[in-house]
A and B are shown apart, each in its own frame.
Chain A
Amino acid sequence: MIWDWAFAIEILPRLGQAAIVTVQATVMGFALAATLGLGLTLARIAWPRTALPISVGVELVRSTPLLIQIFVLYFVGPEIGLVLDALTAGTLAIGVHYAAYCSEVYRAGFEAVPRSQWEAAEALNLNRGTALMRIILPQAIPPVIPALGNYLVALFKETPLLSAIAVLELMQTAKIIGSESFRYTEPITLVGLFFLGMSLISAALIRLVEARITQGVRR
């Protein structure tokens, strides 16, 4: 018997519990990525001097594997007095990693806002801060929401990496079930199906949002 339905149904509740941890890590990781990424981009605009160190930092984070970054935060962190539990360390690493990607997305958004918008704000005697927050930001963010959505899906699919530091998310739970029962087929296939389902749903949602936004922008 290659596929055992009874076993598959029996392990569903445990996988469901684990799915909650996966979703938790995704939501918190993406919240961090989206805010920190925006922060980096705004810092770059507000203080041009920070542009070089920020782009070097972004390049460093994007050029090294997330798995290693998770290990560094989890294993090297305690050596410098940063003791985090596995889920926090993992979520933090994922968040920072994707913040680097998101900051590039935001940057593209800001660069796409015509310079004349800055000039118009200046002509209306708005200061730089107000111009940025009230004029530029509202035009820069909506066009990049689909791109951010793609990174949300990508981030979601990276959460199985947390199993490497023993966070009890989906993949780790599937592995534990596998080692307890010597049946890997059902748990790992179910995890795969879960990711496939969630990814397809979110891809459809992103297309929907995209359609909405392009409608809103058309004048």
Chain B
Amino acid sequence: MGVTPLAIMLGLTAAALWWLAGHEDYRPFMPGLVEGAAVTMRITVAGAILAVAAALTAGLARLYAPAPLRWLAVTYVELFRGTSALVQLFWLFFVLPQFGVTIDAFTVAVLALGLNVGAYGAEVVRGAVLAVPLHQWEAGLALNLSRRQIVARIILPQAVVAMIPPWGNLFIELLKGTSLVSLITLADLTFRAQQMNQTTMQTGPIFTLVLLGYLFMSLTITIGMRLMERRAIRGLGRRA
């Protein structure tokens, strides 16, 4: 879908949330859910930063690093892509303490989700870098630039443009993945919803609000990434 229909959906979602927030059946749940949404957003942002850092490191290591580092990157990617995000979360939360390493739930959430998405992102980085035409590399060589300069100044800036749309999808996956942290006792949006559901049994209103809340956040990410993509394309001097 284009940006305009997405923006219309975002507007409708916001309007629906606003309208429901004033409704007496829904109003009591708003403060708790807003707090939960704040936790969800914090995990998403922190996880996204970690994911981008891990993806760039692993993706570039897989392409340019010496063999042992390259193997490490491949192992990381396959391990985190090959097992379930929930299993990773549980492993870090329940199993790691038995090896004497205890990490608080928030850090576990950011680590597990960030590294999980980062593993998928590493493949995105690798694909985008490989998609930059080879003659760009040759042109860099002809200008007597060092390997590092070629990667940092010539290849990456062009690869970033191709990375933006898949990263948009990955950030949505990350946002949706944060709902799993409710299962390791973090009070995110999903956790608050379950808790309120158990105490009030008002299942319909609560989950309606939660769905709208997630929808609002996803659409914001999608639209933001689309706008960023347009800018990046313009920055390269190609048609928007």
Interface 1/0 per residue, A155-192 and B, CB below 8 Å: 00111110110000001001100100000110011011
Q: In the bound complex, do residue A188 and residue B190 qualify as a contact, i.e. CB atoms below 8 Å apart?
A: no
Inter-chain CA distance A76–B211, complex, in Å, is 12
Q: In the bound complex, do residue A68 and residue B1 qualify as a contact, i.e. CB atoms below 8 Å apart?
A: no
Interface 1/0 per residue, B1-39 and A, CB below 8 Å: 100011001000000000000000000000000000000
Chain B interface helix/strand/loop/mixed:
helix
Q: In the bound complex, do residue A76 and residue B207 qualify as a contact, i.e. CB atoms below 8 Å apart?
A: yes
Q: Closest A residue to B79 by CB, please name it.
A: A196
B74-100: which residues lie under 8 A (CB-CB) from chain A?
A: 78-79, 81-88, 90-91, 94-95, 98-99
Residue with the highest number of chain B CB atoms closer than 10 Å, among A65, A72, A158, A174: A65
Inter-chain CA distance A163–B84, complex, in Å, is 13
User: Which residues of B sit under 8 angstroms from A159, Cβ to Cβ?
Assistant: 84
Inter-chain CA distance A64–B9, complex, in Å, is 14
User: Which residues of A sit under 8 angstroms from B88, Cβ to Cβ?
Assistant: 192
Query: Contact check: which of A59, A158, A174 meets B1 at CB < 8 Å?
Result: A59
Give chain A nearest CB distance to B19 CB in angstroms. 18
The yes or no answer to B222 lying at the interface (CB within 8 A) is: yes
Give chain A nearest CB distance to B211 CB in angstroms. 5
B175-203: which residues lie under 8 A (CB-CB) from chain A?
A: 175-180, 182-183, 190, 193-194, 197, 203
- The number of residues on chain A lying at the interface, defined by a beta carbon within 8 Å of a beta carbon of chain B, is 39
Query: Contact check: which of B79, B90, B98, B176 meets A65 at CB < 8 Å?
Result: B176
User: Which residues of B sit under 8 angstroms from A56, Cβ to Cβ?
Assistant: 5, 9
The yes or no answer to A195 lying at the interface (CB within 8 A) is: yes
Using A2-B99, A76-B207, A185-B95 as known contacts, say yes or no to A66 and B86 having CB atoms under 8 A apart.
Answer: no
Using A2-B99, A63-B218 as known contacts, say yes or no to A192 and B83 having CB atoms under 8 A apart.
Answer: yes
Query: Contact check: which of B87, B190, B218 meets A192 at CB < 8 Å?
Result: B87
Give chain B nearest CB distance to A171 CB in angstroms. 6
User: Which residues of B sit under 8 angstroms from A24, Cβ to Cβ?
Assistant: none
Give chain B nearest CB distance to A40 CB in angstroms. 15
- The number of residues on chain B lying at the interface, defined by a beta carbon within 8 Å of a beta carbon of chain A, is 43
Query: Contact check: which of A71, A76, A160, A164 meets B87 at CB < 8 Å?
Result: A160
The yes or no answer to B45 lying at the interface (CB within 8 A) is: no
The yes or no answer to B204 lying at the interface (CB within 8 A) is: yes
Q: Closest B residue to A77 by CB, please name it.
A: B203
User: Which residues of A sit under 8 angstroms from B178, Cβ to Cβ?
Assistant: 65
Inter-chain CA distance A215–B106, complex, in Å, is 48
Give chain B nearest CB distance to A44 CB in angstroms. 13
Q: Closest B residue to A71 by CB, please name it.
A: B207
User: Which residues of B sit under 8 angstroms from A184, Cβ to Cβ?
Assistant: 90, 94-95, 98
Give chain B nearest CB distance to A210 CB in angstroms. 15
Give chain B nearest CB distance to A204 CB in angstroms. 12
Using A2-B98, A68-B190 as known contacts, say yes or no to A157 and B172 having CB atoms under 8 A apart.
Answer: no
Q: Closest B residue to A160 by CB, please name it.
A: B86
Q: In the bound complex, do residue B87 and residue A195 qualify as a contact, i.e. CB atoms below 8 Å apart?
A: yes
User: Which residues of A sit under 8 angstroms from B204, Cβ to Cβ?
Assistant: 76, 79
The yes or no answer to B210 lying at the interface (CB within 8 A) is: yes
The yes or no answer to B167 lying at the interface (CB within 8 A) is: no
Q: In the bound complex, do residue A188 and residue B95 qualify as a contact, i.e. CB atoms below 8 Å apart?
A: yes
Q: Closest A residue to B12 by CB, please name it.
A: A56
Q: Closest A residue to B81 by CB, please name it.
A: A199
The yes or no answer to B219 lying at the interface (CB within 8 A) is: yes
Using A184-B95, A192-B87 as known contacts, say yes or no to A76 and B176 having CB atoms under 8 A apart.
Answer: no
Interface 1/0 per residue, A29-67 and B, CB below 8 Å: 000000000000000000000000001100110111111
Q: In the bound complex, do residue A188 and residue B207 qualify as a contact, i.e. CB atoms below 8 Å apart?
A: no
Q: Closest A residue to B197 by CB, please name it.
A: A75
Q: In the bound complex, do residue B215 and residue A64 qualify as a contact, i.e. CB atoms below 8 Å apart?
A: yes
Q: In the bound complex, do residue A196 and residue B83 qualify as a contact, i.e. CB atoms below 8 Å apart?
A: yes
Using A62-B172, A72-B207, A188-B90 as known contacts, say yes or no to A200 and B95 having CB atoms under 8 A apart.
Answer: no
Give chain A nearest CB distance to B195 CB in angstroms. 12
- Nearest first, the 5 A-B pairs at minimum CB distance are A63-B218, A65-B179, A65-B176, A184-B94, A199-B82
Ordered by A's residue number, 12 sampled pairs between the chains whose C-beta atoms are within 8 Å are A56-B5, A59-B6, A62-B218, A63-B214, A65-B179, A71-B193, A75-B197, A75-B203, A157-B85, A184-B94, A189-B95, A192-B83
